[in-house]
């Protein structure tokens, strides 16, 4: 048997789980680039201070939609693959944890494992965390044959995924030439200084999609936390600038995600878009809702696995 693992950040399912989720996240060197003792202190403070308010946000959106989307993608991919493959969803900060799950696979006799990152544009803070888990597993189980799909920001199927959603939305709204605002999760500027190419990849994805549709566009960054400098322009500030320029027909594209999550359903739907409508005064703004599953993405994952097998 062979295994395919779709790897994502995860999400809490209870208030207690929220605290554990935050503790694990901010203990991760991929998130806080600092010595272990500093991460231990910071993660304890943040998890204790933020878990109740963070869980309230999850309750407001009816719980995380991530798990249903991930499991559906795993099921659809399993249908395409040969019978000797098993496909599962795994997570960095909630169960089933990546390292624990792989250990279970190994002890059941599975030693060929493909890991697919659900982060289209690799960053130190996301794909980097998954890579760290894989590196630790390689040291523990050196006879496991790992294949890692790290990113696909310029893959034809990924671009087709977004262009298909946009064409449908433009038709639904009867738009003629809407402005595309690609909103990506922000990362600390310190990551960029250390060589993280995330912003370049976000820009490349946005350019490919907008050129395919011949539509004007720009990029903004959302969901920053804390007082450190993050990638700019911030989506909310950028919307103010677009309004000043007379741009009032906008589609927000959550470019750095392929699953609905807290950042789309809370940050965009309950904060950013209502503010744009009611406070900034933008007349017509909407966003692309990410489907639970998409044939373009599943085909992309399938081709990655099959092409590797053909070459070996």
pLDDT reading at 309 higher than 80 = no
Distances (CA, A) of 27 to 30, 32, 34, 136: 9, 7, 9, 16
State the pTM of this model.
0.96
pLDDT tens for each residue of 102-118: 999 999 999 999 999 99
User: What is the average pLDDT score of the chain?
Assistant: 97
pLDDT (0 to 100) of residue 171: 97
Which domains occur in the chain, in start order?
2-151 (3.40.50.1400), 156-287 (3.40.50.1400)
> Which has the closest alpha carbon to 117: 6, 196, 28, 263?
6
Region 207-211 average pLDDT? 98
C-alpha 255/C-alpha 184 separation (Å) is: 5
What is the share, in percent, of the chain residues with pLDDT greater than 90? Answer: 96
What is the reported pLDDT for 172? 97
CA distance 185 to 302: 26
Q: What is the mean pLDDT of residues 70-97?
A: 97
Q: What is the pLDDT of residues 239-251, one digit of tens each?
A: 999 999 999 999 9
Q: Which of 26-35, 146-155, 293-302, 303-312 has the lowest mean pLDDT?
A: 303-312
C-alpha distances (whole Å) from 77 to each of 80, 89, 115, 120 are 5, 11, 13, 17
Which whole number is the average pLDDT over 167-190? 97
| DSSP structure string for 236-276 | HHHHHHHHHTT--EEEEE-TT-SS--HIIIIIIIIIIHHHI
Distant-in-sequence, close-in-space partners of 177: CB < 8 Å, separation ≥ 6: 215, 216
Other CB atoms within 10 Å distance of the CB of residue 270:
13
* pLDDT on residue 312: 67
Burial class (CB in 10 A: 0-12, 13-18, 19+), 198: buried
Q: Mean pLDDT throughout 75-96? A: 97
E strand or H helix at 283? none
Residue 33 pLDDT grade (very low, low, confident, very high; cuts 50, 70, 90): very high
Quick check: 238 and 220 in contact, CB under 8 A?
yes
Half-sphere exposure of 50 (CA within 13 A, CB side): 18
Pairing of strands 112-117, 2-8: parallel
């Amino acid at each position: 048997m062979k295994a395919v693992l779709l790897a994502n950040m995860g999400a809490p399912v209870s208030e207690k789980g929220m605290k554990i989720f935050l503790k694990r996240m901010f203990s991760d060197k991929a998130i806080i680039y600092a010595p272990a003792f500093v991460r231990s202190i910071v993660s304890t403070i943040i998890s204790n201070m933020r878990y109740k308010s963070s869980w309230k946000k999850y309750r407001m959106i009816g719980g995380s939609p991530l798990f249903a989307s991930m499991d559906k993608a795993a099921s659809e991919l399993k249908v395409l693959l040969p019978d000797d493959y098993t496909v599962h969803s795994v997570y960095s900060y909630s169960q089933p944890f990546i390292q624990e799950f792989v250990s279970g696979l190994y002890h059941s006799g599975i030693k060929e494992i493909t890991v697919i990152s659900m982060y289209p544009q690799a960053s130190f803070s996301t794909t980097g965390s998954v890579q760290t888990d894989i590196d630790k597993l390689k040291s523990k189980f050196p006879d496991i044959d790992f294949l890692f799909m790290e990113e696909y920001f310029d893959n034809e199927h990924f671009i087709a995924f977004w262009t298909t959603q946009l064409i449908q939305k433009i038709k639904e709204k009867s738009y003629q030439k809407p402005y595309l605002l690609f909103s990506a999760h922000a990362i600390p500027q310190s990551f960029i200084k250390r060589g993280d190419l995330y912003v370049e990849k976000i820009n490349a994805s946005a350019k490919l999609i907008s050129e395919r549709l011949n539509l004007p566009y720009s990029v903004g960054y959302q969901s920053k936390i804390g007082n450190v400098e993050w990638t700019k322009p911030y989506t909310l500030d950028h919307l103010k600038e677009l309004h000043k320029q007379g741009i009032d027909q906008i589609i927000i594209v959550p470019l750095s995600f392929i699953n609905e999550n807290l950042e789309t359903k809370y940050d965009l739907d309950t904060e950013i878009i209502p503010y744009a409508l009611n406070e900034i005064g933008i007349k017509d703004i909407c966003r692309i809702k990410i489907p639970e599953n998409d044939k373009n993405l599943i085909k992309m994952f399938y081709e990655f696995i099959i092409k590797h097998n053909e070459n070996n």
